């Protein structure tokens, strides 16, 4: 039977056509529903945090430390903002270069079975619960040197490292091999090709991946409980000592049961989201500048 | 088939003139699969030598062995000698990078670097190899873009991204990029197969002009192109599926197309097969 005959046969078979259309409609509806639920949940979180946070946030909140009495109104999370920036900053300083280096090895240099094994270990690392990472750093670092912001940075670096490695690896794999060959055919060495061609081409994706890891680290609380510990009452700039972070402060304030502390926690949550957004936008902006820099 | 069966094969010689190329007994593998067997030919200096033949006959592999690009593919290896200016580029003392800056390559698909401007694309080879030797990069770029017939089209937007150019312009930019390093030999791997006839014409025209300075080896499966641009032609083919490709006839382009000696060549150039 020719294709035309099949087509006209199907057209004459009205009930079959109706069934097919109904099926298509049902599945399309299900997909749209799934999309609405996914986007709706995210929007709900953002709107809820926004509403609760905006009613509690103020300049005072961003520039003052919490009051000694958690039931008292006013005060803010200045010490936590500073602590988060320092702890996550150090973690990013450790994890981003190491992760990019590991990914460059995997994509550009790895031979034989080593890359596969490393990739597997990396995927396992991504899946490790972060409280376990905190316990690990507690055992190997805190038991010797005590609680400190730096111990928190180590824990966060371990959380970030596999994420940075994975996204950088994927971005480098997207760089067309034509470009590597084009560079090598000009007499460039492999390292020149990586530094001048592959990494700049993959840069926007690498930055996005690194910022996702930073955002993840900013919100991590569990690994910090056992490492940075927290520091409710004063601002600590020295990462060698125990430090407050925004995530820890949101956790402890939300936990108290006092309305005043809870509204501080909402303001802290909004601050956290704002910091992540600002850092991501800034990184993208500078990434674009670097990428398209002229002669 | 042994090398002796190749019709019109000039005796391979080690003392070719400056800029000349001699390929001697070249075989190449991808893993355990032999793709090219016992290819020998010489490409005279400042002339265009074309390799023609059906798809998959190993033409590209042969020219990728001439600037040591073949070995970059994992599992790839080769055997035989490639003499350029009389010295073997596979000598253990020879650095592959310096071979590649002496023997440039233009690829099948235009591959300008997307993060770089037109200017940066033109001079990047010079920057990487540090061969400017005090010459002004801007002069080098202008000269190379002139030779590639691109200067008039891009002179007012040198700082624009290279990917803003059309496909044909991008390919001419890639030729300028290769010329800027000042190689003695230029390999072209089906440089026009992704381009329209007008862009193709522009590139064929410039190939004709650059032979005052450069030796060119071009792979093409477009026979008209071979007759238009080349002085010498080699015909490669595979006798049976799965066998390695061989160079079965080599001669002047006029002879290969006008009076081929082998029935296989005759069948291919007359369009009866392939």
* Tens-binned pLDDT, residue by residue, of chain B (274 aa): 444 455 655 544 444 457 789 999 999 999 989 999 999 999 999 999 999 998 889 999 999 999 999 999 988 999 999 999 888 999 999 999 889 989 999 999 999 999 999 999 999 998 887 665 667 889 999 999 998 989 999 999 999 999 999 999 999 999 999 999 989 999 999 999 888 888 899 899 999 989 888 999 999 988 889 999 999 999 999 988 888 999 999 999 999 999 999 999 999 988 877 5
Whether residue B92 lies inside any domain: the answer is yes
**Residue B123, in any domain of the structure:** no
Whether B259 is in a domain gets the answer: yes
Q: Which is nearest to B271 in space by CA: B233, B235, B223?
A: B223
Q: Which two tokens stand for residue A251?
A: 């956790």
Question: B98 to chain A nearest CA, in Å?
Answer: 6
Domains along the sequence of chain A with CATH: 72-291 (1.10.3720.10)
Closest chain B residue by Cα to residue A177: B111
Sheet holding B185-189: strands in order across?
Answer: B103-106, B185-189, B215-219, B48-52, B232-237, B246-252
d(CA A164, CA B129): 31
CA B207 – CA B184 distance, rounded (Å): 14
Question: What is B205-270 written as a DSSP string?
Answer: HHHHHHTTT-EEEEE-S-HHHHHHH-SEEEEEE-SSTTSPBEEEEEEEHHHHHHS-SSHHHHHHHT
Closest-CA distance, B204 to chain A, in angstroms, reads: 21
Task: Please name the member of A111, A179, A187 whose beta carbon is closest to the beta carbon of B113.
Answer: A179
Contact criterion met (CB < 8 Å) for A186 and B177 = yes
Nearest-Cα residue of chain A relative to residue B69:
A185
Interface residue of B111, B131, B183 to substitute, partner A, most A CBs within 10 Å:
B111
Note the pTM of the prediction, 2 decimals: 0.83
Burial (Cβ within 10 Å: 0-12, 13-18, ≥19) of residue A121? exposed
B100–A184 CB contact, under 8 Å: yes
CATH number at residue B50: 3.40.50.300
Report the distance separating Cα B89 and Cα A243, nearest Å. 62
Q: Are A10 and A17 in contact (CB under 8 A)?
A: yes
Closest partner residue to A186 (CB to CB) among B100, B109, B161 is B100
Q: B175 in a domain, yes or no? A: no
pLDDT in tens, A107-133: 998 887 888 899 999 999 999 999 999
Q: Interface of chain A against chain B, CB under 8 Å?
A: 111, 176, 178-179, 181-189, 192, 196-197, 200-201, 203, 291-292, 294-295
Strand B103-106 and strand B87-88: the pairing is unpaired
Give the β-pairing of B48-52 and B87-88. unpaired
User: On the CB side of A17, how many CA atoms lie within 13 Å of its CA?
Assistant: 9
pLDDT digits (tens, 9 = 90+) for B86-105: 889 999 999 998 899 899 99
**Record: contact A186-B67, CB cut-off 8 A:** no
Task: Tell whether B121 is covered by a domain.
Answer: no
Give the integer Cα–Cα distance in Å for A113 and A132. 29
Question: Across the interface, do B113 and A197 touch by the CB < 8 Å criterion?
Answer: yes
Among B184, B187, B16, B186, smallest CA distance to B87 is for B16
Number of Cβ within a 10 Å radius of residue A89: 14
Q: Which residue in the set B72, B161, B174 is minimally distant from A184, CB to CB?
A: B72
Does residue B177 form part of some domain? no
Name the token pair of A145. 């040197």
Angle CA B194–B69–B257, to nearest 5? 55
Q: With contact defined as beta carbons under 8 Å apart, do B238 and B56 qualify?
A: yes
Confidence of residue A7 (pLDDT cuts 50, 70, 90): low
**CB-based contact B113 A185, cutoff 8 Å:** no
- The domain tally of chain B equals 1
| DSSP annotation of A198 | I
What is the pairing mode between strands B21-30 and B76-84?
antiparallel
CA–CA separation, B39 and B32 (whole Å): 18
> How much is the ipTM here?
0.88
Within a domain: B126? no
Rounded distance between C-alpha atoms, residue A106 and residue A103, angstroms: 5
Q: Which of A182, A187, A189 is closest, CB to CB, to B113? A: A182
Task: Specify the pLDDT at position A1.
Answer: 46
- Note down the domain range covering B33: 3-111+185-269
CA distance B186 to B257: 24
Which chain A residues are within 8 Å of B113, Cβ to Cβ? 179, 182-183, 197, 201
For residue B98, list chain A residues with Cβ-Cβ distance below 8 A: 187
Residue B155 maps to a domain: no
d(CA B188, CA B237): 19
Q: Find the CB nearest A185 among B100, B115, B137.
A: B100
Q: In this predicted model, what pLDDT tens digit does every residue of B219-264 receive, in sequence order?
A: 998 888 999 999 999 999 998 888 899 999 999 999 999 999 999 9
Give chain B positions within 8 Å (CB) of A200.
115-116
Q: CA triplet A168, A170, A175: central angle to 5 degrees?
A: 95
């Amino acid at each position: 039977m020719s294709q035309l005959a099949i087509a006209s046969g199907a057209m004459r078979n009205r009930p079959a056509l109706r069934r097919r259309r109904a099926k298509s409609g049902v599945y399309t509806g299900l997909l749209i529903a799934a999309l609405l639920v996914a986007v709706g949940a995210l929007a709900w979180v953002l709107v809820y945090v926004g509403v609760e946070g905006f009613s509690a946030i103020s300049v005072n909140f961003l520039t003052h430390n919490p009051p000694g009495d958690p039931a008292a109104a006013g005060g803010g999370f200045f010490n936590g903002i500073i602590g988060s920036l320092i702890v996550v900053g150090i973690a990013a300083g450790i994890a981003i270069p190491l992760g990019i280096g590991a990914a460059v090895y995997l994509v550009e240099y790895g031979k034989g079975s080593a890359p596969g094994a490393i990739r597997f270990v990396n995927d396992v690392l991504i899946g490790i619960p972060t409280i376990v990472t905190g316990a690990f750093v507690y055992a190997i670092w805190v038991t010797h040197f005590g609680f400190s912001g730096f111990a928190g940075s180590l824990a966060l670096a371990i959380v970030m490292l596999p994420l940075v490695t994975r996204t950088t690896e994927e971005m480098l794999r997207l760089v067309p091999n034509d470009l590597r060959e084009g560079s090598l055919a000009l007499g460039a060495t492999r390292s020149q090709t990586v530094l001048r061609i592959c990494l700049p081409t993959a840069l926007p994706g690498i930055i996005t991946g690194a910022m996702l890891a930073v955002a993840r680290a900013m919100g991590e609380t569990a690994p910090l409980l056992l490492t940075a510990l927290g520091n409710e009452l004063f601002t600590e700039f020295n990462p060698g000592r125990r430090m407050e972070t925004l995530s820890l402060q949101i956790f402890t304030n939300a936990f108290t049961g006092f309305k005043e502390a809870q509204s501080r926690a909402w303001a802290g949550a909004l601050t956290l989201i704002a910091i992540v957004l600002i850092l991501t936008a800034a990184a993208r902006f500078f990434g674009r500048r670097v990428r398209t820099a002229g002669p | 088939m042994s090398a002796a069966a190749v019709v019109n094969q000039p005796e391979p010689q080690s003392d070719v003139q400056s800029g000349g190329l001699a390929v001697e007994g070249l075989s190449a593998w991808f893993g355990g699969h032999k793709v090219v067997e016992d290819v020998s030919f010489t490409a005279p200096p400042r002339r265009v030598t074309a390799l023609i033949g059906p798809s998959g006959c190993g033409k590209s592999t042969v020219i990728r062995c001439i600037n040591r690009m073949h070995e970059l593919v994992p599992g790839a290896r080769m055997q035989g000698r490639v003499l350029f200016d009389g010295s073997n580029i596979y000598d253990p003392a020879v650095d592959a990078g310096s071979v590649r800056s002496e023997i440039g390559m233009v690829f099948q698909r235009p591959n300008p670097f997307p993060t770089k401007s037109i200017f940066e694309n033109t001079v990047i080879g010079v920057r990487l190899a540090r061969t400017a030797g005090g010459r002004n990069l801007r002069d080098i770029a202008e000269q190379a873009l002139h030779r590639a017939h691109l200067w008039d089209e891009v002179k007012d937007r040198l700082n624009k991204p290279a990917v803003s150019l059309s496909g044909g312009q991008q390919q001419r930019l890639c030729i300028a990029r290769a010329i800027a390093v000042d190689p003695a030999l230029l390999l072209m791997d089906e440089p026009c197969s992704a381009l329209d006839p007008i862009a193709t014409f522009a590139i064929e025209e410039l190939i004709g002009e650059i032979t005052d300075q450069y030796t060119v080896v071009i792979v093409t499966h477009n026979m008209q192109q071979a007759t238009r641009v080349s002085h010498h032609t080699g015909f490669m083919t595979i006798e049976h599926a799965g066998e390695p490709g061989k160079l079965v006839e080599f001669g002047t382009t006029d002879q290969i197309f006008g009076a081929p000696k082998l029935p296989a060549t005759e069948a291919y150039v007359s369009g009866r097969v392939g």
